[in-house]
Amino acid sequence: MTGTVPLLEHRKPRPVTLVIMDGIGYSTEELGNAVAAAHIPHLQWLLSNCKHITLRAHGTAVGLPSDEDMGNSEVGHNALGAGRFYPQGARLVNEAIASGFIYEGKGWKRLVRYCRENNGTMHFIGLLSDGNVHSHIEQLEAMLKQLALVEKLPAARVHILLDGRDVGETSALEYVDRLESHLSRLNGEAGVDYRIASGGGRMKVTMDRYEADWDMVERGWKTHVAGEGRQFLSAREAITTYRREIPGVIDQDLPPFVIADKSGTPVGPIRDGNSVACFNFRGDRAIELSRAFDEEEFPYFERIPRPHVAYAGMMEYDTEAHIPRNYLVEPPHIEHTVGEYLSIRGMRQMAISETQKYGHVTYFWNGNRSGKIDEKLEDYVEVPSDRVPFEQRPWMKAAEITDKTVEAILSGNFDLIRLNYPNGDMVGHTGIFHAATIAVETVDLCLGRLMEATKKAGGILLVTADHGNAEEMYEIDKKTHEPKRYADGRVRAKTSHTLNPVWFIVFDPSGGDCIDFDPGVSNPGLTNVASTLLQLLGIKPPEIYDPPLLTFRKDS
């Protein structure tokens, strides 16, 4: 902490509303910047008339291995809710692999033992890239090497989910070729039979989240487990064929495929006596697949076949519901979140977003735990998302979120309201610039309504983001400072998150206080927000939190 913590005790604004503009970061670069290109009068007014700073939202500031790692929604919302950073999945798994601890754990040993006892095959399912948001190809390669050269397990299959979202939009073949070379080396050195068995784009199969579309998981089950679907001789053939047949398709949207031999027999369906590891370390898009393997009572789709397997996730994805039952690396154990502190003090909270980000302001915010902290004090509101491509409806459900939030602000029932507008991130991931500008303009329009409601209620509005995305929509050549282009002249879209900071804006329309940013807080980041929320609510933040951002004085 930096000295004493001044509190806003002489006026207690209600509610404090925290707006998380998901994927809307700050960049001075205008080329490819959908935020700069958008018509955003409300955001511009806030930046011109209100106190604001920028916060670090990537790399080591949010618990990632290095400052070359872009921010993401998991670590961003963990940091916002926890008030300090925890070493996150990417770093924890790297350390477990480097030390060999992962291979000494009961999760790994169980998978290997089950294969040995049943003469079974080890299967790996996960996102194939080095995006380091959900997974990293180096971690998969290390486990395959251990399996072949140390465990000497004779057969393994990999079911690959293609990224194009946290990495370049059409970079899949780079990772497929790299994995094929790695498997070929292992097969030659150890005399094993390791192959790619199936795959598909991450937004088409397997990696649904928050139960937005269980059909994705069912397609994944049919593809990976049953070995059903369109067949190809290799993953490269599948990708190049789909790209030829669907001009302009990007990796995340590629249809599912099954690898089969020349006789038409799938090379790697999952069968009785096999082991299965999900090598994603991030939880939101791995929970539903884990439930499909683990749960006896399962109403979402018929699992045909349902083989007897040993299953483990890379981590325990939900530390409260204990999903999955078995895992390879201990997750971060996030305790004493800001939601817990407010509940202990009897303060009323509301969390709201649409399905695509609902778990971000609940599950991730609360330290990767599902469910409420206090049923009597908390309202969680999920606005069902549309099942359409985001670029076709870039406004998403922002208006509905705003309707309910305005009502909550004016109700006088809440001390803290937190909401997430997914538009900048979900539409930014599509790589379609015009749609991203509309997404940003949608959020701006909604900000105007929240500002008016905050004025009427006598509250305070805080505006920030969890990471950047929409402010960098082009891949830029570092030498020429021009957009990279495909052979046909089209600009190469950037679909991933960024390394940019995010705004933190304080809108206090009552004018009863003069709010400043504390110059003693150096290198502020998302972890400083939780103590700032407590500060605004008249509660001294705990010493374990990173310091609050604000100072106050009474007007003379």
pLDDT digits (tens, 9 = 90+) for 21-78: 999 999 999 999 999 999 999 999 999 999 999 999 999 999 998 999 999 999 999 9
Residue 486 pLDDT greater than 90, yes or no: no
The Cα 295–Cα 281 span in angstroms is 20
5 pLDDT above the threshold of 70: no
Summarize the confidence of residues 512-528 as an average pLDDT: 88
Helices 137-145, 89-99: inter-axial angle, 10-degree rounding: 20
CA dist., res. 526 & res. 177, Å (int)? 37
Answer yes or no: are the C-beta atoms of 330 and 89 closer than 8 Å.
no
- pLDDT of 7 higher than 90: no
Query: For residues 452 and 475, what is the distance between their CA atoms, to the nearest angstrom?
Result: 38
pLDDT tens per residue across span 381-437: 999 999 999 999 999 999 999 999 999 999 999 999 999 999 999 999 999 999 999
pLDDT at position 14 = 87
Could you give the CA distance from residue 552 to residue 556 in angstroms, rounded to a whole number?
12
- Model confidence at 4: pLDDT above 50: no
Q: Which residues pair with 51 in a beta bridge?
A: 506
The DSSP secondary structure of 427-464, one letter per residue, reads HHTTT-HHHHHHHHHHHHHHHHHHHHHHHHHT-EEEEE
Phi, psi of 327 (to 5 degrees): -155, 165
Q: Are 142 and 342 in contact (CB under 8 A)?
A: no
Q: What is the pLDDT of residue 8?
A: 54
DSSP character at residue 273: T
Tell me how far apart the alpha carbons of residues 20 and 549 are, in angstroms, rounded to a whole number.
17
**pLDDT band per the 50, 70, 90 thresholds, residue 449:** very high
Q: What is the mean pLDDT of the chain?
A: 94
Instruction: Kindly tell me if the per-residue pLDDT of 515 is higher than 90.
Output: no
> Each residue of 352-390: pLDDT tens digit?
999 999 999 999 999 998 889 999 999 999 999 999 999
The amino acid sitting at 96 is: A
| Structure token digits, residue 545 | 């939190």
Judge whether 112 and 147 are in contact, CB under 8 Å.
yes
C-alpha span between 314 and 148 (Å, rounded): 19
Q: What count of other Cβ atoms lies within 10 Å of the Cβ of residue 403? A: 14
Q: Domain 90-329 classified CATH 3.30.460.20?
A: no
Residue 556 CA to residue 543 CA, distance in Å, equals 31
Residue 310 has pLDDT above 70, yes or no: yes
Please give the residue that has the higher pLDDT: either 409 or 333.
409
Cα–Cα distance for residue pair 356/492, rounded to 1 Å? 26
Position 254 pLDDT exceeds 50: yes
Q: Are 83 and 530 contacting, i.e. CB atoms less than 8 angstroms apart? A: yes
Q: Is pLDDT of 152 > 80?
A: yes
Which tokens belong to 196?
Answer: 């790619």
Local confidence band at 555 (pLDDT 50, 70, 90 cut-offs)? low
DSSP 83: S
- The predicted pLDDT at position 512 comes to 54
The reply to whether 73 belongs to the active site is yes
CB-CB contact of 361 with 77 (8 Å):
yes
User: How does pLDDT run across 229-247, given as a tens digit for each residue?
Assistant: 999 999 999 999 999 999 9
Report the pLDDT averaged over residues 128-153.
97
Class of domain 16-85+333-554: alpha beta
**pLDDT over 90 at 92, yes or no:** yes
Catalytic position from the list 27, 48, 66, 73: 73
Q: What's the whole-number mean pLDDT along residues 135-146?
A: 98
What is the 3 state secondary structure string of 95-136?
Answer: HHHHHCHHHHCHHHHHHHHHHHHHCCCEEEEEEECCCCCCCC
3-state SS, residue 75: helix
Domain ranges of the chain: 16-85+333-554, 90-329
Q: Fill in the DSSP letter of residue 548.
A: P
What's the rounded Cα separation, in Å, for the pair 255 and 126? 16
From residue 15, give the alpha-carbon distance in Å to each of 174, 192, 300, 456. 49, 62, 38, 11
What pLDDT score was predicted for residue 236? 98
| H/E segment holding residue 514 | strand 513-517
Check pLDDT > 80 for residue 3: no
The Cα 1–Cα 545 span in angstroms is 8
How far apart (Å, rounded) are the C-alpha atoms in residues 532 and 509? 18
pTM: 0.88
pLDDT at site 390: 95
Kindly compute the dihedral angle of the four CA atoms of residues 442, 448, 451, 453, in this order, to the nearest 10 degrees.
Answer: -90
The predicted pLDDT at position 2 comes to: 40
Kind plus residue range of the DSSP H or E element containing 357 = helix 355-358
Round to whole Å and give the CA distance between 53 and 57.
Answer: 13
The CA distances from residue 212 to 109, 127, 252, 354, 384, in Å, are 34, 19, 17, 10, 8
Tokens, residue 462 = 């805080």
Higher pLDDT residue, 478 or 39?
A: 39
Report helix, strand and coil shares of the chain as percent, to nearest 5.
35, 20, 45
What is the distance between the alpha carbons of residues 177 and 61, in angstroms, rounded to a whole number? 33
- Per-residue pLDDT band at 213 (split at 50, 70, 90): very high
Would you call 370 exposed, middle or buried from its count of C-beta atoms within 10 A (0-12, 13-18, 19+)? middle
- Residue corresponding to tokens 């033992």: 113
Helix axes 398-411, 433-457, angle to 10 degrees: 10
Coil/strand/helix, residue 356: helix
Task: Check pLDDT > 90 for residue 529.
Answer: yes
Q: How many CB atoms lie within 10 A of CB 98?
A: 10
Closest by Cα among 467, 389, 454, 470 to 417: 454
pLDDT at 1 over 50: no
| pLDDT cut 70: percent of the chain above it | 97
Q: Give pLDDT, residue 554.
A: 64
The count of other CB atoms within 10 Å of the CB of residue 325 is: 14
